[in-house]
Each structure stands twice: as structure tokens, then as C-alpha cells.
């Protein structure tokens, strides 16, 4: 049995861990800790979690926990992931992986030093839809890659306690949403890019409420990535990926949460086709993958050098935009 401890009594932990764990054999959500002990106790009661730990350190060092889910704000990812790894725990860490690439390297070093698994929670990556995207590219159906266009926009209100509007906690549109676009592009092309340009719309809170960047990969493949969390956006999630090849185009409608409805559209000289890829929720696929990794049946799809590389691209985007000149 893989016993999971939750860092933070957050809404995302319900659908990212608690719900899929209820339907996957061999896993149990065993403990939770939060900044507010009363909130942690209420959360545990609501979700039938047997143990409530006094604080984060108690959870990551608990004998009742094998795998720590780090769902804290990005500012808490490096510190508590490293403590957990050094306490002998495996870690599933939310995206963005860290505050910067330097922190990411420290986290990966800790995982390598301890021999424990450290996986980044890019849940989309584990769904069969993205495996199909890579299969189409590798088949040569749309020809050699020429360019990509990736966007992820969600209206997020600026209100008290909203971490995405707090730069000290790792807020910002590119950190919270655009990181997916960068990860899509890196995963599709399979090599690391240069950042040609970056432009931010800065909020009075000090975070980017929108960001657009252009990446160039070896071989002349360019990628435009953009994200926005502006309060002026219409409601609902808007995410998409367009991949252009020499022989055609592949469009992926909602690669973030394909379980909520998606479409993969192929257009070539031979015509147009559309398909949907069957699967569970992205979070269920993610947790099943983690079980396989911890049972020695698979290697992690995310984390390690992949996580460091994504954070490095994000760092360069922010520097070029002028928001983080240091």
C-alpha cells in the first residue's frame, strides 16, 4: 500500500489525488497537514483522511506516509520537497516545479542523492491524448515540424488570498498557466529552445497577468506561447495547441483536461480528420503512473532534468520580459 500525505488542504488536492486514489488499488490518502490546524482537521473529516499532522514538517517525516503530494504555492515547493526526500519519502510536486531553475536543480539533486522519486504534476502528460499527439508526430503524418502555437487562458479574479496575484508565492500567468504551454512545446519538439522574445502585461500586484513569448528550437522550429489570467477574459478555460508540419497541421483542443472534452484535428493534403482519445481523468492516469514508478514498473515521465529545463525556459522568459532582470 502506498500511503499519501497531502501538504496543504487545497481544492486541487481533491481532484488531483483524493478522487483518483479512491478508485486505484494499492493507494490510500493517509494524512494531511495545513497552515491552519483547524482547517486540516475539517478537511480530513470531509475526505475521510485518517491522520492529521500538526504541521508540514510532521507530515513529511511521518511514518504513516510513503508519498508526499506537495500542493503548496510554488514558494513552498523546493523547501518541503527537499525535506520530504531527505526523510525518505517520494514526492509528487505541483507545477510550476519551483520558483526558479536554481531551486529546481536543488530539488533534483536531493532526489538523486536520496534515490527517491520526484515527479512533477503535469497531469496532462499522462493521458493517452498526449501519447497520441507524439505518435502522430513520430509517424511523419504531418511531416517535419515547422512551428507551434500554444495558449492557456483562464480568468482569475484578484481577491484577498489569491496566490496567483502574489509574486512572493510564485504567482503570475506564465508561472501558473504558461508553464503548461512551455512544457507542451518542449515535449513535442524534444530539444531545448532559445527564447527570442517575451512581453508581459504587469498587474499592480507585481505579477504578470498575461505573458507572450516566442521560442526557437534547433532546426528552425518556432513556438509562440501565451497565457492570460486577466479578469477581462470570458469565463471558462481556453487551452489549445496547434502543431504545424511541412505536410499538414495538428490541432489539439483542450490538451489540459481532455477528460472534460477534447478534439484532435488533423489537416493534410489528404483531407481533414477528427478524433477523440478515450481515457480516464488526467489525474487518474497520473496517479496510476506514479504507482507504476514506485513499483519499479516505469520510469518517471516528468521531473528530473525535464523539470529543471522547463524552469530554465520560464526564467529566461521572465528576464527577457523585464519582470525579473536579476
Residues in the chain, overall count: 326
**CA distances, 113 to each of 68, 107, 108, 110, 166 (Å):** 17, 10, 8, 5, 32
Q: What is the pLDDT of residue 236?
A: 86
* Domain 2-121: CATH superfamily, name plus number: NAD(P)-binding Rossmann-like Domain (3.40.50.720)
Q: What is the pLDDT of residue 235?
A: 83
Regions of the chain short of the pLDDT cut 50: none
Whether 226 and 211 have beta carbons less than 8 Å apart is answered as yes
Residue with cell 482569475: 156
Distance of alpha carbon 90 from alpha carbon 78, whole angstroms: 14
Whether 68 and 96 have beta carbons less than 8 Å apart is answered as no
Pull the grid cell for residue 1: 500500500
Q: What is the pLDDT of residue 326?
A: 58
Q: What CATH number was assigned to the domain covering residues 124-321?
A: 3.30.360.10
- What is the DSSP secondary-structure string of 105-120? HHHHHHHHHHT--EEE
Distance of alpha carbon 100 from alpha carbon 106, whole angstroms: 10
pTM above 0.85, yes or no: yes
**CA distances, 128 to each of 20, 39, 133, 173 (Å):** 16, 36, 9, 27
Which residues are bridge partners to 200 per DSSP? 211
The residue ranges of every structural domain in the chain are 2-121, 124-321
**Cis? peptide before 37, omega within 30° of 0:** no
Pull the grid cell for residue 94: 505541483
Amino acid at each position: 500500500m502506498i500511503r499519501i500525505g497531502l501538504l496543504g488542504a487545497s481544492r486541487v488536492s481533491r481532484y488531483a489525488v483524493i478522487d483518483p486514489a479512491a478508485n486505484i488499488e494499492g493507494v490510500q490518502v493517509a494524512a494531511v497537514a495545513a497552515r491552519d490546524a483547524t482547517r486540516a482537521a475539517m478537511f480530513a473529516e470531509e475526505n475521510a483522511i485518517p491522520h492529521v499532522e500538526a504541521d508540514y514538517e510532521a507530515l513529511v517525516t511521518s511514518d504513516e506516509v510513503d508519498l508526499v503530494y506537495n500542493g503548496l504555492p510554488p514558494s513552498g515547493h523546493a523547501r518541503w520537497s527537499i525535506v520530504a526526500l531527505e526523510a525518505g519519502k517520494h514526492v509528487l510536486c505541483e507545477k510550476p516545479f519551483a520558483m526558479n531553475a536554481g531551486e529546481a536543480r536543488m530539488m533534483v539533486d536531493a532526489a538523486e542523492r536520496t534515490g527517491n522519486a520526484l515527479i512533477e504534476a503535469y497531469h496532462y502528460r499522462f493521458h493517452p491524448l498526449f501519447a497520441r499527439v507524439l505518435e502522430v508526430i513520430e509517424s511523419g503524418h504531418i511531416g517535419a515540424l515547422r512551428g507551434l502555437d500554444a495558449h492557456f487562458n483562464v480568468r482569475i479574479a484578484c481577491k484577498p488570498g489569491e496566490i496567483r496575484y502574489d509574486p512572493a508565492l510564485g504567482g503570475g500567468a506564465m508561472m501558473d498557466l504558461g508553464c503548461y504551454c512551455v512544457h507542451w512545446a518542449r515535449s513535442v519538439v524534444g530539444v531545448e529552445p532559445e527564447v527570442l522574445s517575451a512581453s508581459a502585461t504587469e498587474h499592480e500586484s507585481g505579477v504578470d497577468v498575461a505573458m507572450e513569448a516566442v521560442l526557437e528550437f534547433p532546426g528552425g522550429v518556432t513556438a509562440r506561447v501565451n497565457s492570460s489570467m486577466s479578469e477581462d477574459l470570458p469565463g471558462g478555460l481556453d487551452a489549445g495547441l496547434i502543431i504545424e508540419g511541412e505536410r499538414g497541421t495538428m490541432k489539439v483542443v483542450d490538451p489540459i483536461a481532455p477528460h472534460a472534452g477534447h478534439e484532435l484535428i488533423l489537416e493534410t493534403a489528404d483531407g481533414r480528420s477528427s478524433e477523440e482519445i478515450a481515457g480516464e481523468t488526467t489525474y487518474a492516469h497520473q496517479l496510476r503512473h506514479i504507482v507504476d514508478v514506485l513499483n519499479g514498473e516505469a520510469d518517471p515521465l516528468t521531473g528530473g532534468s525535464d523539470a529543471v529545463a522547463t524552469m530554465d525556459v520560464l526564467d529566461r522568459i521572465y528576464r527577457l520580459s523585464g519582470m525579473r532582470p536579476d
